[in-house]
Amino acid sequence: MTLSLQLPNVDGTLTRYALRNSAPAPLPAGKVAFNRIVYSAAHVVANPRAAIDPWLQCAVDWDQTISYRRYLWSLGLGVAEAMDTAQRGMGLDWPTSLELIRQSLEAARDVPGAVLASGCGTDHLELDSVKTIDAVIAGYEEQMEAIEKLGGKLIVMASRALARVARSPADYERVYDRILSQARQPVILHWLGDMFDPALKGYWGSGDADAAMSTAIGIINAHPSKVDGIKISLLSKEKEITMRRRLPATGGIDGRGVRMYTGDDFNYAELIAGDGFGSALVCGQSDALLGIFDAIAPAASTALAALAQGDIEKFRAILDPTVPLSRHIFAAPTRYYKTGVVFMAWLNGHQSHFTMVGGQQSTRSIVHLSQLFRLADAANALQQPELALHRMKILCAVHGIES
């Protein structure tokens, strides 16, 4: 029997769509080993039964949220916790983020080899009350202390407060010099572009990407032993490659250089594969800290295992078809990509509902989600095709589209 349903088009018409890949997507065979450090920025599962005002209050289904992290670890992926993919600063407040970090760290202790790093920022500060650089530093220090007290590794997130009060690159240098000098272990820096968060426009003290990059590189060069790597999320492979080639060839977590963690959800396959440029290991390739790996975890794991075995063709054959899906999920307004990530988790049976913290499931249209469904099928990213079809029919019916 053909698995099909009616889906809407951009022009408002309906077309019957038949699944191309009606067999479950393959999972990695046996224990996986990678030659890249790979983090999946993981989403949170909302509690749809909580008696709250969803736009104003946050309710998390802790059991399902932690279960999903165990799933990612089982595929060999690290977890980047309490990041923007988890709706940090976009529905997920700091107290809930800290509880998320605590529970994830506790769960990781029961998983041999589990890799976890946690977002540290200034999102608990009331922006209108932040007037000085010292207030930003104090904000970072408060979250650093809380996460390190739990034994967590830091991902130093970009700060809306810093972007608001900084007047020059020197202000960024002052903040990051202070934070890095205090860190107990090497951290991952996070450069999040304004396409993800408009409040971060002009980060590092300049609207010019090259000038901003020079400031960030200068900060890293001043503290190479305190920086594991930097994640840049600018959706530009050219900028990432340029910065990757400028990173110090010494320092980092193993002394072999500061790593580039790709955050480019448009070009991750080729950036992870690398170009072999430069003598240091980390100069010619990118490791990964990606939101899209939450949505395509089995494909990412299988592809990375192939890459570790030297099979670049298999790596690209698996990951390349997922790129159009990722580009659609992260299409402008890019900050709403989290809706697509959670939608994929629902389609694939990792949660029983399509409800998000802050009611964010409403940020994408049924036309957008229908195209996402088609692209997920084309990428063989539907792990349970019949279930995905059933759930897509339910969503369409809510929007007045009957199959």
Average pLDDT value for residue range 297-304:
96
Per-residue pLDDT at 28:
75
pLDDT, tens digit, for every residue of 49-91? 999 999 999 999 999 999 999 999 999 999 999 999 999 989 9
Q: Which two tokens stand for residue 255?
A: 């002394």
Per-residue pLDDT at 21:
87
Domain ranges of the chain: 35-366
Strand-pairing partners, residue 60, are 46
Are the CB atoms for 248 and 224 separated by under 8 Å? yes
Q: Which two tokens stand for residue 253?
A: 């977590």
The bridge status of strand 227-233 relative to strand 187-192 is parallel
**Which letter does DSSP use for residue 63 in this model?**
H
Asked if residue 25 has pLDDT above 80, the reply is no
Residue of 304, 282, 278 whose CA lies nearest to 293: 304
Amino acid at 236: S
Any idea which fold 35-366 has? Answer: TIM Barrel (3.20.20)
Q: What are phi and psi of 326, to 5 degrees?
A: -65, -40
Per-residue pLDDT at 280:
65
Q: Which two tokens stand for residue 352?
A: 């029983």
Are the CB atoms for 4 and 373 separated by under 8 Å? no
Query: Any residues with CB less than 8 A from the CB of 39 and at least 6 apart, and which?
Result: 77, 78, 79, 80, 115, 117, 261, 288, 289, 290, 293
Largest pairwise CA distance in the chain: 65
- Using DSSP's 3-state secondary structure scheme, residue 68 falls into helix
At 391, the pLDDT band (50, 70, 90 cuts) reads: very high
Q: Which two tokens stand for residue 363?
A: 């940020």
CA atoms within 13 A on the CB side of 210: 1
Per-residue pLDDT at 32:
78
Per-residue pLDDT at 135:
98
